[in-house]
């Protein structure tokens, strides 16, 4: 489903792809803040500190939120050459291995992200004075969401590989 499809309403896109909708809104805000900073710096010769800091924060959030959507739709970059030589069960087995490896990585990211969250609980940003742990909370949260997504996909892959044969199959 593409946002340019005239047959699809914006509400359908929002409901079916909330991660991309949120990431798109963050991107538009990011562009607006960057434009404000350019105008303030080069037109008025009075740069602001907080837009640069906020755009860095938005970039982190946008990246991790969109990563959840990419995981959910299976759109992460990968080498597909092996898949071209395998049949349906082989592709599902390979997908299961990829999903299992991703689950292990997401588990490590959740653990590391939580440790970072705890370590940054007393640190604040320079301009906005926001707590750093609240900014980087998106790391373990998105890792947990991607963990759940890949676990669900793994179950689907295993069901396809080890599923029972139906009559006529």
Which of 28, 60, 77 is where one domain is finished? 77
In this structure, the answer to whether residues 118 and 147 fall within a common structural domain is yes
**What pTM was estimated for this model as a whole?**
0.84
In this structure, the answer to whether residues 83 and 157 fall within a common structural domain is yes
Q: Binning pLDDT at 50, 70 and 90, where does residue 6 land?
A: low
In this structure, the answer to whether residues 169 and 89 fall within a common structural domain is yes
Within a 10 A sphere around the Cβ of 26, how many other Cβ atoms?
19
Range of the domain at 27: 1-77
In this structure, the answer to whether residues 66 and 135 fall within a common structural domain is no
Which of 59, 77, 95 is where one domain is finished? 77
For residue range 12-71, what is the model confidence (pLDDT) as tens digits?
Answer: 777 788 999 999 999 999 999 999 999 999 999 999 999 999 999 999 999 999 999 999
In this structure, the answer to whether residues 152 and 113 fall within a common structural domain is yes
Q: Binning pLDDT at 50, 70 and 90, where does residue 168 land?
A: very low
In this structure, the answer to whether residues 65 and 102 fall within a common structural domain is no
- Statement: residue 3 has pLDDT above 70: no
In this structure, the answer to whether residues 87 and 50 fall within a common structural domain is no
In this structure, the answer to whether residues 160 and 105 fall within a common structural domain is yes
In this structure, the answer to whether residues 82 and 163 fall within a common structural domain is yes
For residue 5, the model assigns a pLDDT of 62
- Statement: residue 8 has pLDDT above 90: no
For residue 76, the model assigns a pLDDT of 79
Domain count across the chain: 2
Question: Which DSSP string corresponds to the chain?
Answer: --TT-TTS-HHHHHHH-HHHHHHHHHHHHHHHHHHHHHIIIIISS---SHHHHHHHHHHHHHHHHHHHHHHHHT-S----TTGGGS-HHHHHHHHHHHHHHHHHHHHHHHHHHHHHHHHTTT-B-SSS--BHHHHTTHHHHHHHHHHHHHHHHHHHHHHHHHPPPPTT-
């Amino acid at each position: 489903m593409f946002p340019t499809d005239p047959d699809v309403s914006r509400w359908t896109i929002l409901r079916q792809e909330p991660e991309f909708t949120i990431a798109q809104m963050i991107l538009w805000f990011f562009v607006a803040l960057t434009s404000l900073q350019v105008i303030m710096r080069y037109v008025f010769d009075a740069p602001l500190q907080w837009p640069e800091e906020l755009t860095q924060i938005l970039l982190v959030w946008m990246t991790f939120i969109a990563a959840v959507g990419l995981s959910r739709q299976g759109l992460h970059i990968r080498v597909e050459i092996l898949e071209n030589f395998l049949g349906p069960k082989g592709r599902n087995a390979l997908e299961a291995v990829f999903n299992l490896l991703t689950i292990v990585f997401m588990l490590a990211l959740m653990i590391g992200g939580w440790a970072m969250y705890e370590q940054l609980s007393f640190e604040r940003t320079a301009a906005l004075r926001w707590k750093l742990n609240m900014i980087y909370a998106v790391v373990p949260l998105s890792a947990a969401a991607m963990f759940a997504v890949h676990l669900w996909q793994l179950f689907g892959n295993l069901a396809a590989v080890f599923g029972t044969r139906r009559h006529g199959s």
